[in-house]
Structure 1
Amino acid sequence: MGRADVWLKRSYITATCLVGIVSALLLGFTLFSHGHLHNEEEIEQLLSGLSGLYVISIIPLLLSIIGVYGVCKQKKWALISFTVGLILISLLVIGSLIHGLTAIPQVVKTLNMHYQSFKPLSDAGDVVQEHIRELQVELQCCGLDQGYVDWGHNISKSCLCIKGSTNPCVAAPGNLIHFETDGVQPVMVYKEPCLPLLIALQVTVVHVILGTMLGITLLWLLSVVLCIVILCRMNRKDNVPTVVYSPEAKAGNYITLTDTVEYT
């Protein structure tokens, strides 16, 4: 290999090792998530997503090992397997990214309908009310889409504003407060409803996941381009000087030169 080919080889090995490292981290995250969600009731709905994560983590990890072996041992079959396999998995991920982007409005609509079915919150079950209270404390909000009005005649205590709140607060009517207060100052509750904040948070998480997968896919495609260039260099024939027969190059035309030694 020439000097340029050496740097090409090193660049490919670096990119392929990064593919392997990222795939190993993704596999570890998938295993952790699977174990963490194993006892959850929604595990059946998440199995398809977990299966997809296993595919896009295990296959690139194995292909990266094959690719490094192929470039170190100059094995064309290994480099071709790496290129074809990573192109196929990249096309699969790109298709999933496009589907994910187009499905965001439907996800927002489904999420909105799901939480709207809980209204009025004062008549919802204990499990639902506890879930909404946790959201209100975490997101510093109150109600779903109409603020404290969604709680009817019994505003939840988790709607109370805390000191240093980053979200705006509003005074709630005293006749809707059924917990102890000082009775001097008006009770301040969060003004923002929870559902818009929750939807914005979910959309942001989806965008971060899609952006991360796009970055990983670009890394895959970079290693594929480098692998294709290496395959082209390996298939290129070097210029071999042409051997020409000369009739003068035959026995008898050679003269042996020796030094004459004089003996005295």
Structure 2
Amino acid sequence: MGKVNIWLKRSFITVASLMTIIGALMLAGTLFSHGHYHRDDEIEDMIVGINAMYALSITILVLPIIGLFGACKEKRWVLIVFTVGMILCSLFVLYMAIHMLIIRPMLIKILSKFYLSMQPISNASEVDLKVLQETQIELECCGVQEGYTEWGYNISESCLCNNSLANCIAAPRNSSLFQLTDNTPVMIFKEPCFPIILSHFNLGVNLLVGISMGLTSLWTLSCALSIAILCQLKEKKDTVVVAYSREAKTGNYAVLAEPAELT
């Protein structure tokens, strides 16, 4: 078995340690998300994604630990297990990133169909109105595409602006919100919700793809370092060649002491 270059081993240990930290952070984030949403009514729809994140984060955490053990102990079979596992993880994450880019137009179409079906707001169902009001509060917006004018006279109180004055506008005097005060301008969100939803969705997809590419690059580097270590371990050590010579004579050696003196 050959000797591994010390700088190659240190480089692998550094990369594997970084991967271990990332895996631990991903697992902690998954645990936090599960604890945050476990009382939510929509947890049943999210449980599949949460379980997938558990599996991925645990795998990312365990495999680098296996690789660190194999590199420190110079165990070939352990490094082989690490390399194969990292290659499979890289292919899976790369597939998911490409798949997300492929289905993004379809997801945008579904979002558009869902929110645009609420128009006109006066004819929207109670469920759709509840979703729209929650969206307006969370994203600080009002209306779907045209802004507060879509609400007509009965502007929802979820459009009330309390924080960012830069994103607010005075409510019309002939609206229901204006009657809440004594001739004092009532500020409401001026931006419609649907463009903000699309912007956040595209940002989330781009961020997810960017993180996936970064992780894949890091994992590919760890696989390359692991393969380099395996190649060095496969090399045989240089052995000293002993040559026999017929010219050697017993007269060249002398007895240091008589046998009787050794007792």
Q: Same fold (TM over 0.5)?
A: yes
Amino acid across the alignment from 1:58? I
* Aligned position for 1:135: 135
1:143–1:193 Cα contact (<8 Å) kept: yes
**Higher RCO, 1 vs 2 (CA within 8 Å, ≥6 residues apart):** 2
Residue 236 of structure 1, CA deviation: 1.4
1:122–1:154 Cα contact (<8 Å) kept: no
* Aligned position for 2:47: 47
Distance 1:5 1:214 in 2: 29
Residue 128 of structure 1, CA deviation: 4.0
Shift in alpha-carbon separation, 1:184–1:111, aligned structure 2, 3 A: same
Unaligned runs of 5+ in 2: 257-263
Distance 1:38 1:191 in 2: 34
> The residue matched to 1:109 in structure 2 has which SS?
helix
Amino acid across the alignment from 1:113? K
Q: For 1:7-46, what aligned pairs fall within 5 Å after superposition? A: 7-46=7-46
* Aligned position for 1:262: none
Distance 2:253 2:30 in 1: 80
Distance 2:49 2:199 in 1: 21
Amino acid across the alignment from 1:240? T
Q: Which moved more, 1:43-52 or 1:118-127?
A: 118-127
Identity of aligned residues (%): 44
Per-residue CA distance 1:196-240 (angstroms, 9 max, x = gap):
111211221222222223222222222111111111111112333
2:153–2:175 Cα contact (<8 Å) kept: yes
Amino acid across the alignment from 2:199? A
2:168–2:187 Cα contact (<8 Å) kept: no
1:140–1:165 Cα contact (<8 Å) kept: no
Q: Which moved more, 1:107-116 or 1:90-99?
A: 107-116
Say if 2:58 is the partner of 1:58: yes
**Pairwise CA RMSD of aligned residues?**
2.7
Residue 151 of structure 1, CA deviation: 1.1
Residue 173 of structure 1, CA deviation: 4.7
* Aligned position for 2:261: none
Distance 1:184 1:207 in 2: 43
Shift in alpha-carbon separation, 1:168–1:36, aligned structure 2, 3 A: closer
* Aligned position for 1:73: 73
Residue 127 of structure 1, CA deviation: 5.3
What number of residue pairs does the alignment pair up?
A: 254
* Aligned position for 2:84: 84
